[in-house]
Amino acid sequence: MKSDLAIYSLETGQVTSVLQSDRHIEAPNWFPNDRELLVNAEGQLYRVPLEQPELRPVDTGGMARLNNDHGICPGGDRFAFCDKTETEAACIYLAAFEGGTPRRVTGNVPSWFHAFSPDGGRIAYVGARDRQMDIYTISTAGGTELRLTEGFETCDGPDYAPTGAHIWFNGQKDGRMQLWRIPTTGGTPEQMTDDDRVNWFPHPSPDGRHVLYLSYPPGTTGHPGGVEVELRLMPASGGEPETLLHLHGGQGTLNVPCWAPDSRRFAFVRYPRQDGSL
């Protein structure tokens, strides 16, 4: 086994294994219909029905150099993904689950998708421009991108609050990677965590109460995989976080929005340690 796709219940604190695979599965999204997950593995996307878990390939128009930056639109009929087949740098595409040719959204590269806005009209993503990583949004129809962040050493992991008023992200200043939020139209970012850990990939719950995130040990550089990490939960208004789970993971565990529509569960991936434990 290389990957354990699992679900955590906030009500019980229990973890349920959905699918254990010898493939390297990453980054689950939860379908709005509450019946399936979307994951990537080895350059392709797959649907995973919860009643009969298996990897069912998703048509991406022949593109097979995808990474773990993907997501499902609020209506559930379209999805976004990143691929570098055309340009050798990450581009964001939109496609329909029923099939068809994917449509490129971002003109500037590299760009890494992270989240749809609650109304499905915009996407939030990370763009590297002149070697600077910042948070951007753009209409799903394309057009001019809006840069939201500046003054950070690097930024990553944007995700929309369910009201659409803010975007949460992880941003590094003075060598410290912490969680922030910023108005979706731009403005002054507000720091939401302040500790000695290295905090990544904040995901607000659909009911607006919580923010789930990945927390690395102090001194971690970047967001590596195959390390000991924590899944933490904090109030969306700010405050002390709660550690929900210790696991072996990191990169691929919950890079993109992963909450169930009911806000009572979320999906994640963990990876076996050398001794086989999870």
146-183 tens-digit pLDDT? 999 999 999 999 999 999 999 999 999 999 999 999 99
| The token pair that represents 257 in the structure block | 């929005």
CATH number at residue 48: 2.120.10.30
Say if residues 58 and 38 touch (Cβ distance below 8 Å). yes
Secondary structure (3-state) at 4: strand
Q: How far is residue 250 CA from its own chain's centroid? A: 12
Residue 278 domain-assigned? no
pTM: 0.98
* pLDDT score recorded for residue 42: 95
DSSP letter string over 34-47?
SSEEEEEETTEEEE
Residue 36 domain-assigned? yes
Count of domains forming the chain: 1
The rounded radius of gyration (Å) of the Cα atoms in the chain is: 17
* pLDDT score recorded for residue 1: 86
| Arithmetic mean of pLDDT, 56-68 | 96
* pLDDT score recorded for residue 18: 99
Look up the domain containing 14 and give its range: 3-270
Residue 275 domain-assigned? no
* pLDDT score recorded for residue 36: 99
Residue 43 domain-assigned? yes
| Arithmetic mean of pLDDT, 71-83 | 98
Alpha carbon distances (Å) from 201 to 81, 182, 253: 17, 15, 10
Residue with tokens 């939109």: 94
Sign of the alpha-carbon dihedral angle for 73, 206, 167, 83: negative
Residue 35 domain-assigned? yes
When the pLDDT of each residue in the chain is averaged and rounded to a whole number, the result is 98
